[in-house]
Amino acid sequence: MKKISVQCQGIRLAYGSNEVLKDVNLDIQPGEFFALLGPSGSGKSTLLRLIAGFNQHQHGRLLIDGVDVTGTAPWERNIGMVFQSYALWPHMNVWDNVAFGLVERRVPRAELTRKVQAALELVGLERYAKRRPSQLSGGQQQRVALARTIVIEPKVLLLDEPLSNLDKSLRVQMRQELLALQRRLGITTIFVTHDQEEAMTTADRMAVLDKGVVQQVGTPPELFDFPGNSFVAGFVGTMN
């Protein structure tokens, strides 16, 4: 799979008079597991939705694989997104939930079968194909959501607090699974979290966002040892 870069250059987005993203600059490397850490309301989800094409910025450029995609629709970008709420189809079994995006894209039967099988194996759910979402645990449901996203072979994977609904021990286990999966696929991943420990223990590099401004970018040890300002020091320094 080709590894893709994501670059935000001087991105601004306002909802009316509420400036949510103010001059965001990020240079995310091909194949990187990049964490975006920030408190609630700092603009993390807005930025992910913008990269996916569900929000449009008013200033700046968004480059995916070096190409400015500003103004293009989500389907043209083929970017996968996983949310905190799994939003699985309750009336469909696991297999059909994962196959859904391929059916929509009119993927031929044999290829669809092969891809759904592979995605279910990647998340360890091949034996659960016939179950309904309601018959699965929270962690298993989130694995289905992941499988459903990676099955379409997105260029970039965006994860918006995907583990926040899970209890602490499962969260710790799942973040290791996520990282292992990302390494296996080699897909550029932006992992949004408000949990500093989650970012610090997974990311190749991370950005700290506050009030729509990127406060600092670096590796977890760089931010921990050399915080650029008091906000980063306070936010990254407190492990919970």
Binding residues (CB under 6 A) for ligand ADP: these are 15, 18, 20, 38, 40-46
Tokens of 225: 């040892």
Q: Which is nearer to ligand ADP, 113 or 164 (CB)?
A: 164
Stretch that binds Mg ion, among 41-49, 56-64, 121-129, 207-215 (CB under 5 A): 41-49
Range 214-221, long-range pairs (CB < 8 A, 24+ positions): 214/24, 214/25, 214/26, 217/26
The nearest distance, CB 237 to ligand ADP, in angstroms, is 20
Q: Choosing among Mg ion, ligand ADP, none, which partner's interface includes residue 37 (Cβ < 5 to 8 Å by kind)?
A: none
List the single partner that 82 binds among Mg ion, ligand ADP, none, CB under 5 to 8 Å by kind: none
**Closest distance between ligand ADP and the C-beta of residue 60, in Å?**
16
Q: How far is the CB of 141 from ligand ADP (least distance, A)?
A: 21
Give, as one character, the DSSP assignment of residue 131: -
Q: What is the rounded distance in angstroms from the CA atom of residue 192 to the CA atom of residue 213?
A: 15
Q: How far is CA 148 from the centre of its chain?
A: 13
Q: Quick one: 134 exposed, middle or buried, by C-beta within 10 A (0-12, 13-18, 19+)?
A: exposed
Residue 141 interface partner, choices Mg ion, ligand ADP, none, CB cut-off 5-8 Å depending on type: none
Residues 40 and 49 sit within 8 Å (Cβ to Cβ): no
Specify the residue, 41 or 124, whose C-beta has the smaller distance to ligand ADP: 41
Examine residue 45 and tell whether it contacts Mg ion (CB under 5 A).
yes
Distances (CA, A) of 110 to 45, 113, 128: 36, 5, 20
Task: Report in angstroms how near the CB of residue 195 gets to ligand ADP at its nearest.
Answer: 12
Residue 160: CB minimum distance to ligand ADP, A: 7
**Nearer to ligand ADP among residue 50 and residue 144 (C-beta):** 50
60 binds, among Mg ion, ligand ADP, none (CB under 5 to 8 A by kind): none
DSSP 29: P
Least Å distance, CB 157 to Mg ion, is 16
Question: CA-CA distance, 22 to 56, in Å (whole number)?
Answer: 14
Nearer to ligand ADP, 18 or 134 (CB): 18
Residue nearest to Mg ion (CB): 45
With contacts defined by CB under 5 A, name the span among 9-17, 45-53, 183-191, 214-222 that binds Mg ion: 45-53
DSSP codes, 58-99: SEEEEEETTEE-TT--HHHH-EEEE-SS----TTS-HHHHHH
Tell me which amino acid residue 128 is: Y
Residue ranges binding Mg ion (CB under 5 A)? 44-45
